[in-house]
Structure 1
Amino acid sequence: MNCPKDWPEPITRVQSLSDTGINTIPERYVKPPSARPSLGPTTTSDDYNIPLIDLKGIYNDNSREKILGHVSDACRDWGFFQVVNHGVRPELMDRAREVWRRFFHEPMEVKQAYANSPTTYDGYGSRLGVEKGAILDWSDYYFLHYLPCNLRDYNKWPALPIELREVITEYSAQVVRLGGLLLKIMSINLGLKDDHLQNAFGGEDNIGACLRVNFYPKCPQPDLTLGLSPHSDPGGMTLLLPDQHVPGLQIRRPDGWITVKPAPHAFIVNIGDQIQIFDDDIYGPTMRMCLMNSNHIFN
């Protein structure tokens, strides 16, 4: 199947729409009634949240088994969990959020220089998929390949703000290290060698890692659209650095959708479709979506 070189319709940046101060969103962003966020059961209890797991002591024999058990339970019962004391420096997490926030507030001509296409998706984007006339999500994004190294193209990395490339290089390396640790934990919990899942995804030299930054501009009608439509992640695992101020991520549970409440300097871990294939459905992926808000949301 050939990949088209351009999008089926002219691209409109959602941020540009939002900045005009419109009171009504265009029809192409209005979800059908059955898919709107205001419909369907939701669970809002303050004490109902995805598991929070402290990885401190993972290399200590006295606490290792307990941590392994917590991760195993979270993978089996939720497909989602949060981790703290994960080895990624809190100040680096803050800097990563900040440099991308600043990028999305650069002038449009700066961002347009990195406009992406369906060929690779690398760069600045505002839609996924090439179906003509599709109902779109209320979001802009930036997508980059980080691993394997032969797919990493620094020309696609924004040059502004000037510290972005340095910050994201260090941040990506630390996140990949954390991902490797989590894959080892999951392999052990499945009764496999600790490098089994990492090798299944290509090993240290060929494992894939991508970075996607989502920006959800202010929306005048948040009850009619979504920042990210319901989906399960197609990869092996997603590590999400959420917006600490405006929660928007929801995951589906048997009794309805719940809004995830991020812990300070935690990563949200999402088990993807490919791990489900490798483990014979022991760890099932969970559907997630992002609600819109009258404020900016960034993750």
Structure 2
Amino acid sequence: MGCPSNWLEPIVRVQTLSDTGSPTIPNQYIKPLSEQPSFSIQSDSLKIPIIDLYELINGDTTTQKAIMDQISIACREWGFFQLVNHGIGHELVDEALEVWRGFFHQSMEVKQDYANTPITYEGYGSRLGFQKGAILDWSDYFFLHYLPSTLKNHNKWPSQPPLLRGVTEEYLQEIVRLGKILLKVFSLNLGLQEDHLRGAFGGDDIGACLRVCFYPKCPQPDLTLGLSSHSDPGGMTFLLSDEHVSGLQVRKADEWITVKPVRHAIIVNIGDQIQVLTNGIYKSVEHRVVVNPHKERLSLAYFFNPKSDVLIKPATELVTSTKPTLYEPMTFDEYRRFIRTKGPQGKSQVESLKSPR
């Protein structure tokens, strides 16, 4: 089934629903009991790893190796970690959040000029899948392309606030730099050539995009989610999150761990494509977003992805007689159609790729 040219049912902006002050949410946002936050086992006793990158960037061989080991453990055991001293200026991090918060507080008329369609999702949106009658998430977003440069079009980025385009461009350049560093570290930690994963992604011709998520106040946060449980379909994700309002939760051992963002930290998580490329050594992890009855929340999710038409399959060096190939080859473009059609669906897509035994 291809994408329709327009949404199959009317689009309602969640921010508009929140602004009405209604004490209840519409039925199409109420999740099944098993998915509601109030029916989940949640834990505050575990925390995702926090890794200081300063010595990796500035230290000697010994201290660099120690940080690489921390990253390896985080990738194998968690699939999620927070980076501090990552080399991106604190002022730029603050500005990135500020300009995008400013966009979502523009008038609805201004935002509607950027309304998106299911074809590319680029622009201002309020749903991720296009299936009619789906249970929706309590969030709005803005999605834009960054790489390859042939897809990037600043005219499709908001013109207000005035600094938004320049700040976003500068911030994304820095994230690309950080992404290349991590791909090198991942490759070396796996015993591969340092440029292996970068080459598997398509070399300098990678794909990358940004989804800015806005989670308005919600009068019944126990009944819905800001973003349903899912693993990210791409390579890896760099998340800049509002430090004052927690919302991101990571699933570990059938419990939901609330991530408490460290100021100016970048949260990194492994995506499905790296799980495939590493033959399951690094695993993508289910995560979701809960909403708040009193405060809005904003986050910038930068998706660092393989080139859309490159074939993704496990690295030959990571396939052995005791650990055969786990996944069938597939291009990233073929893979992401699943999410584009159905929206977040746990880890069902990457699990469906497993080779028959």
Within 2, Cα distance between the matches of 1:44 and 1:96? Answer: 29
Query: Aligned Cα RMSD in Å?
Result: 0.8
How far 1:238 moved relative to its partner? Answer: 0.2
Q: Mapping of 1:150-229 within 5 angstroms?
A: 150-204=150-204, 206-229=205-228
3-state DSSP of counterpart to 2:257: strand
Letter in 2 for 1:213: V
**Residue 258 of structure 1 aligns with which residue?**
257
How far 1:255 moved relative to its partner? Answer: 4.8
Number of corresponding residues = 296
Within 1, Cα distance between the matches of 2:148 and 2:228? Answer: 28
How far 1:40 moved relative to its partner? Answer: 2.0
**Residue 131 of structure 2 aligns with which residue?**
131
Gaps of 5+ in 2: 300-357
Question: For each residue in 1:62-105, what CA deviation from the matched residue of structure 2 results, as whole angstroms up to 9, or x when unmatched?
Answer: 31100110000000000000111111111100000000000000
How far 1:242 moved relative to its partner? Answer: 0.9
User: Once the two structures are aligned, what percentage of the paired residues are identical?
Assistant: 60
Question: For each residue in 1:34-63, what CA deviation from the matched residue of structure 2 results, as whole angstroms up to 9, or x when unmatched?
Answer: 110111211122xx2100001112143131
Question: For each residue in 1:112-147, what CA deviation from the matched residue of structure 2 results, as whole angstroms up to 9, or x when unmatched?
Answer: 000000110000000011110100000000001100
Which of 48, 51, 70 is the matching residue for 1:50? 48
Within 2, Cα distance between the matches of 1:155 and 1:122? Answer: 12
Letter in 2 for 1:238: T
Within 1, Cα distance between the matches of 2:129 and 2:249? Answer: 22
Within 2, Cα distance between the matches of 1:29 and 1:159? Answer: 31
Is the 1:43–1:255 Cα contact (8 Å) retained in structure 2?
no
Q: Mapping of 1:38-187 within 5 angstroms?
A: 38-45=38-45, 48-59=46-57, 60-187=60-187
**Residue 24 of structure 1 aligns with which residue?**
24
**Residue 247 of structure 1 aligns with which residue?**
246
Question: For each residue in 1:165-208, what CA deviation from the matched residue of structure 2 results, as whole angstroms up to 9, or x when unmatched?
Answer: 0000100000111011111110110111111111111111x101
State the TM-score, normalized to the length of structure 1. 0.97
Within 2, Cα distance between the matches of 1:279 and 1:292? Answer: 33
Within 2, Cα distance between the matches of 1:160 and 1:189? Answer: 43
3-state DSSP of counterpart to 2:268: strand
Gaps of 5+ in 1: none
3-state DSSP of counterpart to 2:288: strand
1:298 maps onto 2:306 in alignment:
no
Letter in 1 for 2:274: I
Q: Mapping of 1:280-295 within 5 angstroms?
A: 280-294=279-293, 295=295
Letter in 1 for 2:115: A
Question: For each residue in 1:269-289, what CA deviation from the matched residue of structure 2 results, as whole angstroms up to 9, or x when unmatched?
Answer: 010000000001000111000
3-state DSSP of counterpart to 1:212: strand
How far 1:2 moved relative to its partner? Answer: 2.6
